[in-house]
Structure 1
């Protein structure tokens, strides 16, 4: 089993490599690297890895599953971390998600937005993004691009939610550049009703360069930084 002492040097090197690549891609696109947020996705990794990442300067962490989000955020409450929930959410888990997340990237229906709003127990805001489905498969998470504006308008009626922008995953059967160009068009439409909703959450390990070129502001990068996910068996 790899010790934390053995893990940290490799972790630091992988983090540095990705960050250098982000800077290079931003400059190639004529963008300021400082306007891009790198979120480290720690799915299935232990809380101790997140603590190691924090020691390396990471402050933005992403989780796909409510149970992991709740457990890790609770265990690491002493650290100044910003937690991003990026997975598909069930409405009956909205309260648990809201208690631990600072931002939810995967709002894809009115009912989920309503549930997140009802879960507010103080006067704080929850940052949310409209998840857009860029595939032809309606079973995939996200709203159709043509329905994103209506969902954004609904979110804006819920005072405890703060609409920040849009999120999507590039389809496997399409070039990332063209998919992210479509997402950018959706982003521009949403900004037509809420100019401050400037986040574009797009880009993972294999396509973040194309996402940056298309205007992505938030990248969701996992194993290229964390290493292979642990065996859950």
Structure 2
């Protein structure tokens, strides 16, 4: 077992606990997702031995391959957090327990059409930037998207997801995301999840109500060089 990995995981969990208590929240209500993008599948085995049960991946090919190689870890939850494409919806759905990046009716419809079993938990990705070309529905459109996805009985709207813009204080961005979460709950009252906060800004996300954190390098260490 990699002692450095265990130390990094413990350090992040301590920071999560500190931030939650500082915000008057119960740390137990926050899910820490470890993002293993580009890391070997052996890292997932090591994380599992340390108690990690939520893994995040950005690329369809990677989540598909890693889940297949670690299918014996039956209680591991796989979160797809990258941009979803309609032509990969079937593969994404087959490999994921939660999809964090539903940002338009078309991708929701594609995931719905790919259903073959259990209801899929999804989050609505919100674009908090002024760049309309970035992934995510606009804050003004999130309520309408929630209404659309609500009608697809193989999908379950759990809440919202966003990435804080690089040119804005994370706390301000996450405060706006919290407003989007409120709008979604007007349509789907039990959609209580807020997926926000990464290595550099998760304390601010916790302060603004994040329930799911997507943390990579602070736990996994630097990504290995790619071939």
TM class by shorter chain equals over 0.9
The match for 2:112 is 117
The question of 1:66 aligning with 2:54 is answered no
Unaligned runs of 5+ in 2: none
Which structure 2 residues correspond to residues 1-233 of structure 1 after superposition, within 5 A? 5=1, 8-79=2-73, 80-122=75-117, 124-233=118-227
Give the distance between the partners of 1:174 and 1:227, measured in 2 at CA. Answer: 26
Deviation string 1:32-68 (CA, Å, 9 cap, x unpaired) is 0000000000000011000000000000000000000
Give secondary structure in 1 for the equivalent of 2:187.
coil
Give the distance between the partners of 2:183 and 2:146, measured in 1 at CA. Answer: 10
Q: TM-score, normalised by structure 1?
A: 0.96
Give the distance between the partners of 2:217 and 2:61, measured in 1 at CA. Answer: 20
Aligned length: 226
Which contiguous aligned blocks of 4+ residues in structure 1 show a shift greater than 6 angstroms? none
Give the distance between the partners of 2:69 and 2:19, measured in 1 at CA. Answer: 35
Give secondary structure in 1 for the equivalent of 2:159.
strand
Unaligned runs of 5+ in 1: none
Deviation string 1:54-91 (CA, Å, 9 cap, x unpaired) is 00000000000000000000000001210000000110
Give, in angstroms, the shift of residue 193 of structure 1. Answer: 1.2
Give the distance between the partners of 2:109 and 2:223, measured in 1 at CA. Answer: 33
Q: TM-score, normalised by structure 2?
A: 0.99
Give, in angstroms, the shift of residue 147 of structure 1. Answer: 0.2
Give secondary structure in 2 for the equivalent of 1:192.
helix
Q: Cα RMSD between the aligned structures?
A: 0.6
Give, in angstroms, the shift of residue 195 of structure 1. Answer: 1.1
Give, in angstroms, the shift of residue 202 of structure 1. Answer: 0.2
